[in-house]
Structure 1
């Protein structure tokens, strides 16, 4: 299938993509875009091409139309995270054909300087959140040479094939779960189905009951893919089964068995003990 034409993007026009939408009170299924702003503008400008082609049939469905109208209305009064150009950063960093592991979060971080479109990830100089500290702690247990970094940017792992996807892709500042059950979950389930339909086996890491229910809902064929379930890495629940789950090594053992050594994920690429950035650059410049 040919790639969609993707006009030149600017952050100003991207930021205007949601704010330009207006709700038509006379219908629940049609939200006409502002003049000269195509309804799919944000998706065309910021979504990775493989995901855009796979998901473009969702953009004009009633639930997605309502969702974008809701977010446009929210933007009139509140700050929304992540910034518009980062809502779909997961799709640019991890093309559909490159997905090896899926790690499903629930809601973007809702404080300033945190969310940038990848579940569990934050950009420097933001302090590493508690859930990510526990992810690092588990990595250290499974890979003793791993030294937890002082930053929480998971971009290199995303570029290496780890899809860090949240069930809901936006949130109102300082109000957790404020955009849940507005339509994002239906959209991200469809993204997960796109992964599950691939012939090449992938690993789904379902941490916490919400993630497990989502994975169960999309109907993953466990003869083709591997699902790893455990408690969530949150400080409130990590000691109830996340810490010690062995998921990172189990994922790599399975990937190596299915796809050879090249199928593995280099989970230690973020280690503070790495003295060179060459490994990270190799992934980010593919």
Structure 2
């Protein structure tokens, strides 16, 4: 034992022991070390890697619980952060805005989902967008504008960027009361589904004969958005009673940027449902095999019957087949707004009156019996016409009778086409009364 002293005071006391002999040191067992690594590797991973969808899992389990409660369908809740959001310092970005920018962009700051704000932050401070916001500021002060301002960006909150799997493109919002709420084609209850949406329901029933429209002819499509369907209008606002009144004011550039971001960032693949030439033009820059663009005439009653027609385009089942190929089994969209699993149409051996695909099929219509594999896409026409409910005969329903008082605001392209045909004398009598 050693003791150190300074001026008669003991500062430190410690003991020194001899080192152990080499023979007393236990060597490391390499075999046991390797075994420990194997055991660690066998532990199941946590986090996202362990959350792969199970076979035959329904869409609720895959996409998570719905964010919207039935009691308040217009409200939204922002979901978990995307990778882009995690890198975005909103407060730092806000600190870089001047006072006018903060005032003009208050709606975007408060209501645009952060996953979208992170990638649109440069676009919304552009000269064109700020001019749009100055125009809207005057419009809101002097006019009735739809949808309500707090719902203009509800599409972003229902469908964060990192969850987008499909995109449906519309034109501008409905311009009647209690209709538009920020999702294209969707209307707030108790407003019944407008004619174009009613035709969309009929097309779904062709692909999935078990599909039935929601009770009370509801047109609320938030369940689709919550599953990853981006329901995006070209223009996001409109004057009450004046369709297309906010066209060419700047919304087109902004929403095209939204589309471009989806194309660039959603690298696993997205389905774009482009109905009508305006929507198809907005998808004209999408090429290659990464994404799928499905084109068709518009579902408006004035266009849906134009060859090759809207009802038999097969878009809804094609969308789900693509998503399952890219994201795995069970990753398709549950288009049915009433029941957990719509049933896809399959080829019938007994004629169009039989539907042999109602048993043993999952949400995307893939029968376990291999004899029916791929038959839904190859021969839907023969199997589905008689499976649509009698009251919804696609050739007999009168939109004006079934949806009295509800304007169809998205038929501009069809009207222009009818006018052109009339001027050329090519439109037969009664043809425009379908």
Bucket of the pairwise TM-score, normalised by the shorter protein: 0.7 to 0.9
Pick the aligned partner of 2:119 from 54, 72, 93.
Answer: 54
Q: Which residue of 1 aligns with 2:322?
A: 254
Partner SS, residue 191 of structure 1: helix
Q: In structure 1, what is the Cα distance between the partners aligned to 2:161 and 2:304?
A: 29
Q: Which residue of 2 aligns with 1:119?
A: 184
Q: In structure 2, what is the Cα distance between the partners aligned to 1:274 and 1:2?
A: 37
User: Which structure exhibits the higher relative contact order, with contacts defined as CA atoms closer than 8 Å and separated by 6 or more residues?
Assistant: 1
**8 Å contact 1:100–1:263 — kept in the other structure?**
no
Pick the aligned partner of 1:78 from 114, 130, 143.
Answer: 143
Partner SS, residue 231 of structure 2: strand
Q: In structure 2, what is the Cα distance between the partners aligned to 1:157 and 1:5?
A: 32
Please show how residues 14-33 of structure 1 align to structure 2 within 5 Å. Answer: 33=100
Q: In structure 1, what is the Cα distance between the partners aligned to 2:236 and 2:221?
A: 17
TM-score of the aligned structures, taking structure 2 as reference length: 0.55
Q: Which residue of 1 aligns with 2:161?
A: 96
* Stretches of 4+ aligned residues off by more than 6 angstroms: none
Q: Which residue of 2 aligns with 1:238?
A: 304
Please show how residues 1-286 of structure 1 align to structure 2 within 5 Å. Answer: 1-2=87-88, 4-5=90-91, 33=100, 38-149=103-214, 150-198=217-265, 199-216=267-284, 219-240=285-306, 241-268=309-336, 270-271=337-338
Partner SS, residue 102 of structure 1: strand
Q: Offset of 1:267 from its aligned partner?
A: 1.2
Q: Which residue of 1 aligns with 2:69?
A: none
**8 Å contact 2:155–2:225 — kept in the other structure?**
yes
Q: In structure 1, what is the Cα distance between the partners aligned to 2:251 and 2:296?
A: 24
**8 Å contact 1:196–1:221 — kept in the other structure?**
no
In structure 1, list runs of 5 or more residues that go unmatched.
7-30, 276-286
Cα distance per residue 1:201-224 (max 9 Å; x no partner): 0000000000001111xx223310
Q: In structure 1, what is the Cα distance between the partners aligned to 2:230 and 2:112?
A: 14
- Aligned CA distance change for structure 1 residues 274 and 200 (closer, same or farther; 3 Å): closer
Look at both structures and tell me which one has the larger radius of gyration over its CA atoms: 2
Partner SS, residue 305 of structure 2: helix
Cα distance per residue 1:126-158 (max 9 Å; x no partner): 121001000111111111111111211000110
How many residues get paired? Answer: 245
Q: Offset of 1:274 from its aligned partner?
A: 6.0
Q: In structure 2, what is the Cα distance between the partners aligned to 1:189 and 1:166?
A: 10
Q: Offset of 1:88 from its aligned partner?
A: 0.2
In structure 2, list runs of 5 or more residues that go unmatched.
1-86, 93-97, 342-434
**8 Å contact 2:124–2:130 — kept in the other structure?**
yes
Partner SS, residue 295 of structure 2: strand
Q: In structure 1, what is the Cα distance between the partners aligned to 2:161 and 2:277?
A: 25
Q: Offset of 1:3 from its aligned partner?
A: 5.2
**8 Å contact 1:3–1:49 — kept in the other structure?**
no
Partner SS, residue 178 of structure 1: coil
Q: Which residue of 2 aligns with 1:20?
A: none
Q: Offset of 1:188 from its aligned partner?
A: 0.2
Partner SS, residue 163 of structure 1: strand
- Greater shift in the superposed pair: 251-260 or 204-213: 251-260
Partner SS, residue 52 of structure 1: helix
Q: In structure 1, what is the Cα distance between the partners aligned to 2:182 and 2:141?
A: 21
**8 Å contact 2:170–2:184 — kept in the other structure?**
yes
- Aligned CA distance change for structure 1 residues 232 and 38 (closer, same or farther; 3 Å): same
Cα distance per residue 1:21-62 (max 9 Å; x no partner): xxxxxxxxxx9739xx63321111001110011101011111
TM-score of the aligned structures, taking structure 1 as reference length: 0.82
Partner SS, residue 187 of structure 2: coil
Q: In structure 2, what is the Cα distance between the partners aligned to 1:88 and 1:3?
A: 20
